Amino acid sequence: MKEAKSRITAALCGNPNCGKSSLFNHITGLHQKISNIPGTTIDLKIGHARIDDVDVKVIDTPGTYSNQAKSKDEEVALEIFEAQNPERPDVLIYVADASNLRRNLLYFSQLASYNIPMILVLTMMDTARKRGLELDLDRLQNELGVPVLICNGRTGQGVDKLKSRLIKPAFTCHYNFVQDAENPIASAYKSIDNLLTRTTHQKSREKLFTERIDPILTHPVWGYFIFLGVLLLVFQAVFKLAEYPMELIELGFDALGIWLYDILPANWIRSILVNGVIAGLAGVVVFIPQIAILFFFMSILEDTGYMARISFIMDRILRGLGLSGKSVVPLLSGAACAIPAIMATRNIENWKDRIITILVTPLMSCSARLPVYTLLISLAVPDTYVLGIISLKALMLLAMYFVGTAASLIAALVFKFFIKQRGLSYFIMELPVYHSPRWKNIGLTVFHKSKSFVLEAGKVILIVSVFLWFLASYGPNTEEGSIKPTEIEQLESSYAGYFGKTIEPAIEPLGFNWKIGIALITSFAAREVFVGTMSTIYSVEDEENIASIRSKMQSDTHSDSGLPVYSLAVVISLMIFYAFAMQCVSTLAVVYKETKQLKWPVLQFVYMTGLAYVASFVAYQLLR
Amino acid sequence: MLLSDLKRNQLAEIKRVLPSPIQEKVMEMGCVPGTRISLALKAPLGDPIAFSVDGYYLSMRKTEAQTIEVKLVHEGS
């Protein structure tokens, strides 16, 4: 019998690593988006599927082990099950890893008490069979009173059956899971054990691939070597693979700017579009390749289960610094961009560990610093090779990455003593079974994370770029129709120029003049804007040609002494400043959004910029 | 004995989980009285430790393993 067109809401629930996301992707295909739960800032994946005449809305809730929320994400997963919640789903699809049924059924037993109809989906049956599990499916179904289906998250086998089951009437679980008030978890496990002795049978098992390979990957010596090797490989790949698309994007935006410049009449609208909006957009879009490729590799590491081992071998070291093994993912992501890195701190349960990770992550050398370092290194470091093969310039760049990493770890150690502990720091974590990457999941993760980067960073950078365009285009003495003969004169008499000169006394001890001052100010949109500003200041026609900016900067001399402005001391001081200073407004905005307290972005800005000032001062005074 | 004293190839059964702020977390991960548990992996410096419980690997810090009382089931080879 065909029903009239109707709609139902289904929620996917289950433990982390149970194959929930694969199932979600199989059910909804590409019809999914990330949206907020009303009244929160937590993003949930929501997808739609059309099954016969029914429109099914599927909510993918974050994986959790129980209904006692431990982290922010888990808290949200539970809110929607409350009876008064308007988003309360009509049916729960509970996904359980069959190879680990006992623990997977704990959360099931807790959800059963919410009296929402349920469907139990078992995944990873192949691993379960290898582990010697025999399951009486009919018996389990009868005992629970809800449909029990088997799905393969990798191949999608069984998903069609689940889909057609989804639109039939569903039932609430009638198995009596005991939850005595005194010891709810132990008693729930007791009733799960009773259920499992009646419905499963344990045979002898074979040794799993995971059990053979883990002693090597977590080995006291080889473990770290392998981790370092993987890290080097990933970053090498990120920079190499991103080079070409980044170049194309830059060329594309240049062409767009020139085209708009030609077709629009010469007025402020043209100026704001070309020098504000287009320049701002280019600054965001150019990082998409690097960030997408980094996300790609990070998702592979996470999806295969290796990331959990990295956390495992790094926890003892990071704990001493006030961080946790789980800080590894944010810190590594920070080497591409601090924005997604800070969003990735959400799965650190402990508040103090999370805050410290957020505070120190922007010290990791992000990719926006790369163009700045490249220009400055080419100014000061000669084209020589150490031992005949290692470029001195590459070595210098590596040193800057080292400086950033060391600074973030030292800063963490300092914060460890100043930030009060809230709750307990713990590292009770499942080490999931290794499996080959699920490419569809990885593809979708990369897409969604890149998208949220563009939206989060994009709007802030755009606003700041337009504001900076205003500062650089108008000055206190700008008159209507006044013509400045050159760009540099216009910049000099603009607000930005005045600011540059105003802060000159403050930055002089660091070796910086007012021109650098302007670049420091414009860098607040994004650090790489430094290069563009320098090319404007030195009236370079071809902005893309670093060599021409470099030669102009190199020939700049002090008018009184005749010595070059960009001496080694100034260049080193400037690089140190860019390594430490908090010059990224989008990151500050994300920190505020994630912590919901103004004091954290403020503290971050003050400590990082203060550190930059002091370190640059010391470097310049020692080297000059 | 405490779970943190468990050696390789020894099989133990959990006797009780001592009261602590992580008691509930430990238990919901499957470590309730009566559960069989064995040592699977030790991170460098012997901390954290991964145990095999319910057929999966559960990692915890040494101090966290000290909140779980176990009794030896057999010594192993």
Overall number of domains in chain B: 1
- What pLDDT band is residue A311 in, cutting at 50, 70 and 90? very high
- Integer Cα distance of A102 and A617 in angstroms: 60
Please indicate, yes or no, if residue A370 is contained in any of the structural domains: no
* Mean pLDDT, residues A365-379 taken together: 86
Supply the pLDDT for residue A314.
92
Supply the pLDDT for residue A39.
47
Closest partner CB to B60 (pick from A308, A313, A427):
A427
- Integer Cα distance of A166 and B41 in angstroms: 41
- Integer Cα distance of A182 and A190 in angstroms: 14
- Integer Cα distance of A495 and A492 in angstroms: 8
Interface-testing mutation among B29, B45, B60, with chain A (most A C-beta atoms within 10 A): B29
Range of the domain at B47: 3-74
- Integer Cα distance of A125 and A522 in angstroms: 57
Instruction: List B11's β-bridge partners, or say none.
Output: B38, B74
- What pLDDT band is residue B17 in, cutting at 50, 70 and 90? very high
Query: What does chain B come to in residues?
Result: 77
- What pLDDT band is residue A547 in, cutting at 50, 70 and 90? low
Closest partner CB to A427 (pick from B33, B34, B48):
B48
Q: What is the CATH number of the domain that holds B29?
A: 2.30.30.90
Q: Does the structure show a pLDDT above 50 at A1?
A: no
Q: Does the structure show a pLDDT above 70 at B77?
A: no
Compare all CA atoms of chain A with the CA of B60 and give the residue at the minimum distance. A428
* Mean pLDDT, residues A149-155 taken together: 89
Supply the pLDDT for residue A31.
67
Are A430 and B59 inside 8 Å of each other by CB?
yes
Q: What is the pLDDT of residues A596-613, one digit of tens each?
A: 899 999 999 999 999 999
Supply the pLDDT for residue A548.
67
Are A313 and B26 inside 8 Å of each other by CB?
no
Q: What is the pLDDT of residues A244-261, one digit of tens each?
A: 898 899 889 888 888 988
Supply the pLDDT for residue A290.
82
Q: What is the mean pLDDT of chain A?
A: 84
Range of the domain at A189: 6-206
Closest partner CB to B28 (pick from A68, A99, A193):
A68
Question: ipTM for the complex?
Answer: 0.94
Closest partner CB to A186 (pick from B27, B45, B54):
B27
Interface-testing mutation among A67, A107, A430, with chain B (most B C-beta atoms within 10 A): A430
Overall number of domains in chain A: 1
More confident residue, A410 or A397: A410
Q: Does the structure show a pLDDT above 90 at A32?
A: no
Whether B40 has its CB under 8 Å from any CB of chain A: the answer is yes
Instruction: Provide the 10 A C-beta neighbour count for residue A439.
Output: 11
Please indicate, yes or no, if residue A448 is contained in any of the structural domains: no
Q: What is the pLDDT of residues A482-512, one digit of tens each?
A: 555 566 677 778 888 888 889 899 999 999 9
* Mean pLDDT, residues B30-46 taken together: 91
Q: Does the structure show a pLDDT above 80 at A275?
A: no
Supply the pLDDT for residue A105.
94
Q: What is the CATH number of the domain that holds A28?
A: 3.40.50.300
- Integer Cα distance of A196 and A144 in angstroms: 11
Supply the pLDDT for residue A484.
52
Please indicate, yes or no, if residue A416 is contained in any of the structural domains: no
A325: DSSP letter: G
- Integer Cα distance of A189 and B27 in angstroms: 9
Q: What is the pLDDT of residues A42-67, one digit of tens each?
A: 567 888 888 888 899 998 888 888 88
